[in-house]
A and B are shown apart, each in its own frame.
Chain A
Amino acid sequence: MKPSNATCDVVWLGNGQWFGELVCACLCLLLLSLLGGANANAQDEDQPEPEVLITVSISPEARVKASPGSASRVLRQGEWTEFTVTIENTAGITSPLVIESEQQMRDESSGSLREPSLVRGAVHDHERSRWMRLDWDAEKPLTGAPKETRRLRIWSRDHGVRSAVLNFNAGQGTQDLGFRSDVLLSFRVLAR
C-alpha cells in the first residue's frame, strides 16, 4: 500500500516510505489520544470535586493532625462514596500517609477491597463495631509539596447512623498528641 504524503509528509530515515507512514500513523494516534485526553480532562473538570471530609496537617515537627472537613457525612449502604482528603505538609516529609480505623472491616482475603455480602440481623462484638471499608493508598509516599489532595472512598455494610474514628500517621510515632491525629466522624448511611 502506497503511503499518502498528502496527510503527512514525513520521510523518515529515507529508506522505505512505510516507515514514514508508520510514524505518521503513530503521530495521528498520539494526536487523537491527546485530544481524547483533553476531552477526558475537560470531562473530569466538569465533575465536581468530592467534598473535603478530612484535612490532614503535618506540622514542622512532623506531627500529624487530622480535622473534619465540610463534606456532608452521607453514605449509601453497600456502595462506595468518594471524598477528598487535603494534606498540608509543612514538614515536607515524603513518607506514606496511613489511615487506621478500628471500624474497618477485616478482609476475608488479604489485601482485597472486594465488597462483602451485606450482613443482616443482629451482629455483635467486632462484627458490629467493624462496619466499613476504606479505599486509600497507604503505600503511596507523600510528594513533600506543601499541599496535596488525595481521594478516600468509604463503603458501609450497614445503614442508619454509623460512627468511626480515623487515625492518621506518617510513620511510627508521628501521631500528634491529645487525640489530634484522629477524627471522630458520624455518617448517615442511607439504606440500599
Chain B
Amino acid sequence: MRTEPRWVKTLGYDWVRIKTPSFVIWVRLVVGLWLLVGVSTSRANLQDPVAADDAVAALPSVGRVDAQPLLLLTKRLSEALETIGSPLNASATAEMATLAEEPDDAKVTATIQRLLDPLCVAAVEISPDGSMQVIAGQNVTVEENGWRAMLVKVLNHANVQTQLQTRSPNALPIPTGPQDEIENRWMSLNLHNERPLDTQLSGLELEYRILLISSVRVGTHLGKLAFSPSGENGTWANTNITVETVPATKVEFRVTDADGSDCMGCFEIRDALGRVYPAQPKRLAPDFFFQTQIYRETGEAIMLPRGTYTVICSHGPESVPETKTIQVGEQPIVIDYQVERWIDTAKLGYWSGDHHIHAAGCLHYENPTQGVHPPDMLRHIMGEDVKVGCCLTWGPCFDYQKQFFTGRPDDVSRYPYLLRYDVEVSGFGSHESGHLNLLKLREQIPAGGDSKNHWPTLGLNTLKFAKRQGAVTGTAHSGNGLGQVVGRVAGVDGPHKLPCFDIPAFNGIGAHEFIMQVTHEVDGPDGEKVPAIDFIATMDTTREHEWNIWYHVLNCGIPIVASGETDFPCITGERVGLGRVYVSLPGILDYNDWVEALRRGESYVSDGSAHLPNFQRNEDGTFSVDVATRKAEFPDIDVELIANGYPLEVQKVKANGTMQTLTFAAPKLEQSSWLAVRVFPSAHTNPIWVKLNDKPVRVATSIEWCLSSLEQCWREKARTYAPAEMGDARAAYDHAREVYQGMLNETK
C-alpha cells in the first residue's frame, strides 16, 4: 500500500514536504553504511588530534547565507554559552566581533563555520525536500556526572521554523527500562533552547544550537544521537557519537576569615576554556543556576575532572578577592582560602544587613521546590558576609514560603549571621501604590484570611496592620516609577540632579504612596502614635530617583531614614547584599536591636565599596566622619557634606581602602537644616538635624514638590484602591495635603 506523503507545517502559510516512508528506508540504509565508516573514524579521533580535524572537515558546509540573521543568531548563541558558563574562547569571540564590518556575506558565512564547526558534536542537514541526515562531529569529553555543552550545526535547506528535538536510546530513563538495558543508558541529553535563544529554528540555511551532554559511566562509549525538526512523531535521523567520560576528583574547601575563624567563602571556578563549574544549567539549591559562583565552607567538597582551574575566592565586598590556580589530578585536593579584608565593619560596631532578599519568585525556580529554603539563603548571606538577611515572602510561592515565618530569626541562623523571614507586600494587597517592606512582624498575615488575597489595597492601611504589632516599615525599590517626568515646580537642581524639581510620574511600584504615608502617624503596639513609615529603601534603583524623593521629604522636616537593599533576585540575581545598610550596634548583634537602630537611623547605606561610619557633629560645630573606600585602580573620590540636599563642602580621598577621619568646617547655616555625608552613588549617611531658633526644617521649594507629587500620586493611584477603602484613601490624601500646606504656610 502506498502511503501518502507526510507534511510538516513550517510557517502559518507555508508547507514543506518532509519525505515518504520509502525514502526513510533509503536514508537509513545510507546512514547505516555511513555510520560503519564514521564510527571507526570517531574511534581514531580519540588518539589522533589530526583525525579530529578530519571529522570536523567532514561536516557539510554552506557557501553563503545572509549575514544579518547569521551574525545576530551567532551573537545570541555566544551569549547563551556565556550564560550557561561555557563561553566561546576569547579569540573566537574577538574574530566574530569583527565580522560586523565584513561586507561580504560569503566571508562571514565561511568564518562563522570555521570558528564554530570544531565545537560541534554533530551536523543536522535538512534537505529542501525535507529529508535529513545527521553527521557526527567532534568527540565529547565529559566528566563523570558532569555536563558538557557542545554545538549542533543545522543546515536547514528546507528553511523550516520548527523546534529541533533530540533523543537517544542511551539517554532513556533507567527507572522504567528493562534490566539488560541499564548498561546502555549512560547518557543524558538536553537541547538547550533557553533564553537568549529562540526555541524554534530561524529558517536560515545555517545556524548552531546548543546540546548539553552528560554521562554517568567512566570510559569511552559509543552512543547514538538522533534529531528531528518535526516533533516526537516526525522524522528522525541519527548518527553515532563517541563520548569519553573522565573520572572526577574530590576537591575540598578549607575557608577561614581574616581572624582565623571558620567562614563561608564565595568561589567562582572556571577551567582553561572559561567554563564554569559546577555546571550552571543543572544546579539545584544551594547553588543557584543564575549565578557563576558557589558558596562553600570548610569540610565541604565538589567533584572536578582533571585539569587546571582558576578559582576566584571572596567573602563579600569587605574582602579583597583572591585568584588561585589549582591543578586537579587523580588524588583529592584542598582549596585553602583565608579571607583578606580591607575593612571589617563589624569590628567597628557596624553590622551589615540587606533588608530585602527573596527565597522565591523572579529568578528562583518554582520546581522542584517552590523557591529555596532557609539553609540555602543562609549560605548565601554568610558567603557574602551579610550579617542580617531579611528574607521577605511575597506574591510568588507565598503559601509555600509563609511556613518559614516564625517571628524571630530562623533556627538555621549561625551567629553573627541572622536570617529572618518577614513580608514584602508585592503582588497582592496594596502593592500597586508602592511596595512595602514589613520587618519584625509578630503576625505575618492580617486577620480575615491565611494567605495574600484579603490584604488592604491602601498602603496606609497595610502600615496600620504592621505598626500595631511594632513592625518596622519601609518602601521597596524606591526609584521605580520615579523616572518619567510629568511636570516641574520652581527650584534649583543640585549636582547629580539632587535635589531635582521635576515631578515624576509615580507610575510604578516604588516610593509612591510614601509621599502621603510620611505625613501620617498610626497606632503603635501600645496605642501610642508612631510614624506610619520608618525608612525609604535605597541602593537598588537609580540613585538620583531614590535619593531625590528622600531629600524632598527630609526638606519638609520629616525625619525619614534610609536603609539599603538588593531585592535579590529580582533587581539583580548576581548576589545578595549588593545594597546594604550598616547599622551601629555596640556589643552583641541582636535582630530586634538591629532593626530598631535601623529605624532610628543609626546607620549608613552603601554598596559595600564605600563606608561612612561615625558621622557626627562635634562640640565646636564641625562635622566629622570616618571614610574608607576601595575601588578599582584607587581613584580619588569626592566625599560631600550636604545640607538640605546641597553640597556644603567636598573633600577628596583616595579609594585605596584605608580608613581616615574627615572633618568638615562648621557650616554657616541660615535656616534649620539636615546634614549628611555622601559618596555618590556608593554611600550615604543618615542625617543629623540642626535646629536654628528652635524652628523645624522647612524648605518651601521641596514642600511645593511634595504637594505636586502628592497630587500626581493620587492621579495615578486612586484607581488602585478598593471601593471599600476609597473613603480611607481620600481622607489619607486630604490629611497629607493639609500637612504639607501647613508646612508651606510656615515658610511664608
Name A's B-contacting residues (CB within 8 A): 51, 59-63, 68, 71-74, 90-96, 103, 122-125, 128-129, 131, 141, 144, 158, 160-165, 170-174, 176-180, 182-186, 188
Within 8 A of A (CB), among B378-429: 394-396, 426-428
| Chain B interface helix/strand/loop/mixed | loop
- B196 contacts A by Cβ under 8 Å: yes
A-side contacts of B83, CB under 8 Å: 178-179
In the complex, the answer to whether A60 meets B68 with C-beta atoms within 8 Å is: no
Find A71's partner among B12, B199, B361 (CB 8 Å cutoff): B12
Q: Determine whether the beta carbon of A62 is less than 8 Å from that of B12.
A: no
The reply to whether A141 and B507 form a contact with Cβ atoms under 8 Å apart is yes
Interface membership of B562, Cβ < 8 A = no
Which single member of A68, A172, A176 contacts B198 (CB below 8 Å)? A68
21 A-B Cβ contacts within 8 A?
A: A59-B570, A60-B361, A60-B394, A60-B426, A62-B509, A63-B362, A74-B13, A91-B509, A93-B481, A95-B505, A128-B103, A129-B71, A161-B69, A165-B196, A173-B483, A173-B571, A178-B290, A179-B79, A184-B196, A188-B14, A188-B203
Q: Which of A51, A131, A183 contacts B68 (CB 8 A)?
A: A131
Does any Cβ of A come within 8 Å of B480's Cβ? yes
Check B290–A188 contact: CB distance below 8 A: no
Q: Which residue on B lies nearest to A159, using beta carbons?
A: B66
Cross-chain contact A61 with B570 (CB below 8 angstroms) = yes
Residues of B within 8 A of A170 (CB): 508
Q: A122 with B103: in contact, given A129-B71, A186-B202 (CB under 8 Å)?
A: yes
Contact of A171 among B66, B483, B572 (CB under 8 A): B483
Whether the pair B505, A124 counts as a contact (CB closer than 8 A) is no
With contact pairs A144-B432, A171-B481, A171-B484 given, residues A179 and B505 touching in the complex (Cβ less than 8 Å): no
Q: Contacts of B101 on A, CB cut-off 8 Å?
A: 124-125
Contact A161 B159 (CB under 8 A): yes
How far is B572's CA from A41's CA once the two chains are assembled, in angstroms?
Answer: 46
- From residue A10, how far is it (CB to closest CB) to chain B in Å? 39
Which B residues are closer than 8 A to A by beta carbons?
A: 11-14, 65-69, 71-73, 76, 79, 83, 100-105, 159, 161, 195-199, 202-204, 290, 361-363, 394-396, 426-428, 431-432, 435, 477, 479-481, 483-484, 505, 507-509, 541-542, 567, 569-573, 716, 719-720
Can you name the residue of chain A whose Cβ is closest to the Cβ of B12? A72
Beta-carbon nearest neighbor of B75 in chain A: A165
Number of A-B contacts defined by CB within 8 Å: 173
User: Which chain B residues lie closer than 8 Å to A91 at the CB level?
Assistant: 427, 431-432, 508-509
B234 to chain A, nearest CB (A): 19
Q: Which of B68, B100, B432, B508 has the most CB of A within 10 A?
A: B68
Give the docked Cα–Cα distance between A95 and B505 (Å): 8
The reply to whether B12 and A61 contact each other, CB–CB distance below 8 Å, is no
A93-B509, A129-B100 in contact; A160/B198 too (CB < 8 A)?
A: no
**Interchain CB contact under 8 A, A63 and B73:** no
Given A129-B68, A178-B290, A184-B196, is A163 in contact with B202 using a C-beta cutoff of 8 Å?
Answer: yes
B509 touches A61 (CB 8 A): yes
From known contacts A74-B11, A165-B76, A171-B480, infer whether A178 and B68 are also in contact, taking CB-CB under 8 Å.
no
A92 to B79, CA, bound (A): 32
Known: A60-B394, A122-B104, A180-B195. 9 other contacts (CB 8 A): A59-B570, A91-B432, A103-B68, A144-B720, A161-B202, A163-B69, A163-B73, A165-B72, A165-B76
